C-alpha cells in the first residue's frame, strides 16, 4: 500500500479507510489477529480485510456493513490524527496550482504539523520529485517520519527537526517551491530564497492574521521577490431542496386559466406548476446556503523569486 501508488488488494500492515458514510469514516491499520469496533459490529482483520479488494463491502458482526477504501491524501486530510491545526483540500488545491507543482518538482515545507499538506505535495511531485519538510517540534517530526514510512512514501520525503527561522531547510538552490506555515514566516524568507532555484521559484506563506501577512509581504519585497499577492479561499456550500411558495393573488388568474382551456383533471397537467393553483402554492428546486459557513480560514501569500 502506498499513498502515491494504488494497490488492488488489502495486505497486512496497510492503512485503510473504514467508510460508514460521508460524515463518518476513520483510518485503521490492518493487522493479523486484530479487530476493529464499529457501530455496526466488529470487523476482523484476518478474515474480513486481508486478501479482500479495496472498495469491498464488508459485513460487520451485527449485520451492518461498511466499505474499505484505499487511502488518498484527500481521505487522509479528513481522517488524520490532529497534532496541529491542518490545511484542508480547499486551500491545498490552490496551493498546488499556484506553486506550479508537477511530477519531479522539488518542494521545501515548514512546518510539517499533522502532515495534511505534506501527503498532497508528495502525491503531486511523485514519482521523481522530493519534499524537504522541516518541523520544529521533535515529537511531531518523529511521528511524521513514522507515518510516511507506514504510508510507503518515505523515499519521496526528508523530515528534518530544526528551527527553519534559524537553520533554514538544509538545501540550497534546488527547490522549485517553498511553503511556509509558521508563526513568523517573515523570519524565514531569507532561508526560503536560499533554498529556491536560481530564478523563477515560487513561495507561499499561510497565515491566519493580516498583521502576519503585512510583515511577510515587506520581507518578500526586501529580499527581491516579485508578483506578490495575497488571497483567501472561502467555500460556500448550497443544499438543493424543494421549496413551496404561495402563488400571489393577481385577481384574474382563475379567469385566464379557464380561458386557455387548462384542465387540472388531465393527467398530462399534473406535473406542471399550474396543477397546484387550487392549493395556492407552487413547488420548485432551489439552492439554499447553509445557516453556518466558515467566515475565515487563512491568508495565502504567493510570490516569485526574481
Answer yes or no: do 62 and 115 share one domain.
no
Asked if 304 contacts 226 with a C-beta cutoff of 8 angstroms, the reply is yes
Rounded CA-CA distance 88/90 in Å is 6
Region 51-72: what's the mean pLDDT? 94
43 contacts: CB under 8 Å, gap ≥ 6: 18, 28, 35, 36, 49, 58, 60, 66
Helix axes 116-125, 138-150, angle to 10 degrees: 40
Answer yes or no: do 31 and 154 share one domain.
no
pLDDT band for 261, please (50, 70, 90 cuts). low
Residue ranges for the known binding site for S-adenosyl-L-methionine are: 114-117, 135, 163, 181
Per-residue pLDDT, 43 = 95
- Reported as a single tens digit per residue, the pLDDT across 125-161 is 999 999 999 999 999 999 999 999 999 999 999 999 9
Answer yes or no: do 90 and 214 share one domain.
yes
Q: For position 122, which CATH number holds?
A: 3.40.50.150
Q: For position 35, which CATH number holds?
A: 3.10.330.20
Give the count of alpha carbons within 13 A of 64, CB side only.
13
Q: Which of 38, 3, 34, 32 is nearest to 18 (CA)?
A: 38
Per the listing, cell 476482523 goes with 44
- DSSP secondary-structure letter at 132? E
Domain of residue 190 covers 75-229+297-305
Does 275 map to a domain?
Answer: no
Rounded CA-CA distance 16/29 in Å is 6
Residue ranges for the known binding site are: 114-117, 135, 163, 181
Answer yes or no: do 64 and 91 share one domain.
no
Does 289 map to a domain?
Answer: no
- Reported as a single tens digit per residue, the pLDDT across 194-242 is 999 988 899 999 999 999 999 999 999 999 999 999 999 998 889 898 8
- Reported as a single tens digit per residue, the pLDDT across 65-95 is 999 999 999 999 999 999 999 999 999 999 9
**Domains identified in the chain, total number:** 2
Region 105-123: what's the mean pLDDT? 97
Q: Measure Cα distances from 292 to 236, 238, 242, 286, 295 in Å.
A: 10, 11, 20, 18, 9
Answer yes or no: do 51 and 186 share one domain.
no
Judged against a pLDDT cut of 70, whether residue 252 lies above it is answered with no
Asked if 120 contacts 92 with a C-beta cutoff of 8 angstroms, the reply is yes
Amino acid at each position: 500500500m502506498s499513498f502515491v501508488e494504488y494497490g488492488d488488494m488489502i495486505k497486512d500492515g496497510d492503512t485503510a479507510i473504514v467508510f460508514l458514510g460521508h460524515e463518518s469514516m476513520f483510518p485503521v491499520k490492518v493487522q493479523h489477529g486484530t479487530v476493529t469496533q464499529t457501530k455496526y459490529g466488529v470487523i476482523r482483520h484476518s478474515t474480513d480485510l486481508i486478501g479482500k479488494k479495496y472498495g469491498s463491502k464488508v459485513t460487520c458482526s451485527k449485520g451492518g456493513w461498511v466499505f474499505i477504501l484505499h487511502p488518498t491524501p484527500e481521505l487522509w486530510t479528513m481522517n488524520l490524527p490532529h497534532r496541529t491545526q491542518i490545511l484542508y483540500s480547499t486551500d491545498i488545491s490552490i496551493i498546488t496550482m499556484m506553486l506550479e507543482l508537477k511530477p519531479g518538482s522539488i518542494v521545501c515545507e515548514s512546518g510539517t504539523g499533522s502532515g495534511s499538506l505534506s501527503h498532497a505535495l508528495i502525491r503531486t511531485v511523485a514519482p521523481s520529485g522530493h519534499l524537504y519538510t522541516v518541523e520544529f517540534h521533535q515529537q511531531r517530526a518523529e511521528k511524521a517520519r513514522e507515518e510516511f514510512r507506514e504510508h510507503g512514501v518515505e523515499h519521496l520525503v526528508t523530515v528534518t527537526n530544526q528551527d527553519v527561522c534559524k537553520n533554514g531547510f538544509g538545501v540550497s538552490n534546488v527547490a522549485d517551491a517553498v511553503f511556509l506555515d509558521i508563526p513568523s514566516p517573515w523570519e524565514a524568507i531569507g532561508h526560503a530564497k536560499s533554498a529556491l532555484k536560481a530564478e523563477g521559484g515560487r513561495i507561499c506563506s499561510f497565515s491566519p492574521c493580516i498583521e502576519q501577512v503585512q510583515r511577510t509581504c515587506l520581507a518578500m519585497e526586501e529580499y527581491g521577490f516579485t508578483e506578490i499577492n495575497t488571497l483567501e479561499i472561502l467555500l460556500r456550500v448550497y443544499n438543493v431542496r424543494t421549496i413551496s411558495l404561495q402563488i400571489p393573488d393577481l385577481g384574474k388568474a382563475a379567469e385566464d386559466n379557464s380561458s386557455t382551456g387548462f384542465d387540472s383533471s388531465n393527467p398530462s397537467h399534473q406535473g406542471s406548476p399550474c396543477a397546484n393553483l387550487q392549493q395556492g402554492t407552487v413547488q420548485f428546486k432551489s439552492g439554499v446556503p447553509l445557516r453556518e459557513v466558515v467566515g475565515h480560514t487563512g491568508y495565502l501569500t504567493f510570490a516569485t523569486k526574481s
